[in-house]
Amino acid sequence: MRDIILFIIIIGSIPLILRRPFFGVLMWCWVSYMLPQRHTWGFMFEFPVAMLVGVSTIFAFFLSNEPKKIPLEKPIVWLFLFYIMVFLSWLLHDKTPFVNELALKVFKVQFFTLIILTMLTSRKRIELALLVVALSIGFYGIKGGVFTIVTGGEFRVYGPSASFFEENNAMAVTNLMVAPVFVYFSAIQSDKRLKYIFLLCALLIVVAVFGSQSRGAFLAVIACTMFLLAKTNKKLIAFVILLALLPAVYTFMPAHWHQRMGTIIVDEEAGEVRDGSSASRLNAWRAGINMSFSHPFSQGFNAETPSNFIIYAPNPNDFVAFHSNYIQVLGKHGWMAFISYLMVFFCAWRLSNKVIKITKNIESLKWAGLLCRYLQVSLVAYLVGGAFLSLAYFDLPYHFVITITSVYVIVQKELAKINVIEEERNLACRHGV
């Protein structure tokens, strides 16, 4: 029955997508992040849902009157450079079926990210896309939060199969990234019931972060809390109240959770690492760094192989994935890609700071500053949590980058209109009108 319902929804959406390409963006966000086909058991389980929606959207987009211009702000310029470096690393290294499949997946996701960017032309569209993304991921976070409470935190929370955030650690960081989006929607609501519903969703998502038993996400929670305490004002008070509940959540978790979090610390005086996975991770990081010096574009998509670890790892027998966004980019695509990758988020951060500053005293644009501030919290979660995860290709952080860019472009246009109105008003006053 689920298969039939989902099939009707997907097929029924195509005429709407062909009429309004932005509806395709919303459908893409839904099927890409929630993966509804993974909740079926029949023919829809392996059905190419994302491909069908994506192709329909791209076809409709190029035939529509939608603007085709990509705003070349600094984060997007660096993003293009990152794409080029990744493409060259794929082009210049051996291409196995696995490598080609991974590269195709990455390029499809990033290409569609640019399509979304061109259509984020208004506040309404930005918020609709963010809401669909937040609800799609939040579905698992809210469910995971309830599961954690009901089970007393005894079991880990995982994401949907075949997704970027299937693993418990990735699930935790992904949830932490969307929690600020829920708080933003709570902050802009005039209806108190909706305000509290969004806040409750954010709280359950944070509970799910703890329930994932991810040490990297735990560090990201601390980083986000410190950032909020440093930047807090009355507009962020809702999030501060939310984070004030974290000690209660921390206390609620079972003993084995506290023991696992305790293994974050390395006992060097005792001459041993308290968690063997830490040593494996450090070994993989050193291997990735060594690979980055072997070739201008490092070792390509196929860098994480036992044969490469034999050559580049301090302990060649300890083969694990890189488990770090930064080492993932560095070890697979080289220093130029690594610098481009970092600059994408650095420039997005600066752009968001600029939006916050120039909208501070403009009532009609305060939503933009507020949104950018919350997206900064999301970026903190990604940049800190991602230091221990391989999520360099995950489309969610790039969606936040293009959202910040789109907000900046909209703010610039609105400020230009305001300046024109002010000039006309001043001119009228000088002529005594």
By 3-state DSSP, what share of the chain in percent is helix, strand and coil, each rounded to 5?
75, 0, 25
**Around 269, how many Cα atoms within 13 Å sit in the side-chain half-sphere?**
1
**Stretch 162-183: mean pLDDT:** 84
**Stretch 255-261: mean pLDDT:** 52
Based on the fold, state whether residues 59 and 198 are members of the same structural domain: no
pLDDT at residue 242 tops 60 = no
Total structural domains within the chain:
2
Q: Is residue 315 part of a domain?
A: no
Based on the fold, state whether residues 50 and 194 are members of the same structural domain: no
Based on the fold, state whether residues 256 and 351 are members of the same structural domain: yes
Q: Is residue 403 part of a domain?
A: yes
Between 81 and 255, the more confident residue is 81
pLDDT at residue 124 tops 50 = yes
Based on the fold, state whether residues 246 and 379 are members of the same structural domain: yes
State residue 270's pLDDT score.
42
Based on the fold, state whether residues 16 and 137 are members of the same structural domain: no
Based on the fold, state whether residues 8 and 100 are members of the same structural domain: no
Between 304 and 278, the more confident residue is 304
State residue 17's pLDDT score.
94
Instruction: Say if residues 316 and 310 touch (Cβ distance below 8 Å).
Output: yes
- Percent of the chain's residues with pLDDT above 70: 83
The sign one gets for the Cα dihedral 104, 105, 107, 111 is: positive
Based on the fold, state whether residues 136 and 183 are members of the same structural domain: yes
Instruction: Say if residues 353 and 409 touch (Cβ distance below 8 Å).
Output: no
Q: Is residue 135 part of a domain?
A: yes
pLDDT tier at 94 (50, 70, 90 boundaries)? confident
| Domain termination site, one of 51, 66, 81 | 66
| Domain termination site, one of 66, 81, 100 | 66
Q: Is residue 426 part of a domain?
A: no
| Residue in this structure with the two tokens 């944070």, named with its chain if needed | 206
Instruction: Say if residues 154 and 195 touch (Cβ distance below 8 Å).
Output: no
Q: Is residue 302 part of a domain?
A: no
CA distance 54 to 17: 10
Based on the fold, state whether residues 162 and 52 are members of the same structural domain: no
State residue 58's pLDDT score.
93
**Stretch 115-119: mean pLDDT:** 94
| Domain termination site, one of 46, 66, 86 | 66
Q: Is residue 207 part of a domain?
A: yes
Q: Is residue 327 part of a domain?
A: no
State residue 115's pLDDT score.
93
Based on the fold, state whether residues 120 and 42 are members of the same structural domain: no
State residue 274's pLDDT score.
45
State residue 407's pLDDT score.
96
Based on the fold, state whether residues 8 and 141 are members of the same structural domain: no
State residue 268's pLDDT score.
41
Q: pLDDT tens for residues 314-332? A: 998 888 888 889 999 999 9
The range of the structural domain enclosing residue 44 comes to 1-66
Q: Is residue 232 part of a domain?
A: yes
Structure tokens at 153: 């935190």
Q: pLDDT tens for residues 265-277? A: 444 444 444 455 6
b or e along 76-105 (b: 16 or more beta carbons within 10 Å of the residue's beta carbon)? bebbbbbbebbbbbbeebeeeeebeebbee
Alpha helices in 92-167, H assignment, sequence order:
97-119, 123-151
**Stretch 295-303: mean pLDDT:** 89
Range of weakest confidence among 28-37, 62-71, 154-163, 189-198? 154-163
**Stretch 204-229: mean pLDDT:** 74
For the chain, the C-alpha Rg in angstroms (whole number) is 23
Based on the fold, state whether residues 170 and 186 are members of the same structural domain: yes
What single-letter amino acid sits at 412? Q
Range of weakest confidence among 1-15, 37-51, 158-172? 158-172
Alpha helices in 163-269, H assignment, sequence order:
168-187, 192-211, 215-231, 237-244, 246-252, 255-262
Average pLDDT, the chain: 84
Based on the fold, state whether residues 162 and 195 are members of the same structural domain: yes
Number of Cβ atoms within 10 Å of the Cβ of 400: 26
Is pTM, for the whole model, over 0.85?
yes
Between 229 and 26, the more confident residue is 26
Instruction: Say if residues 371 and 407 touch (Cβ distance below 8 Å).
Output: yes
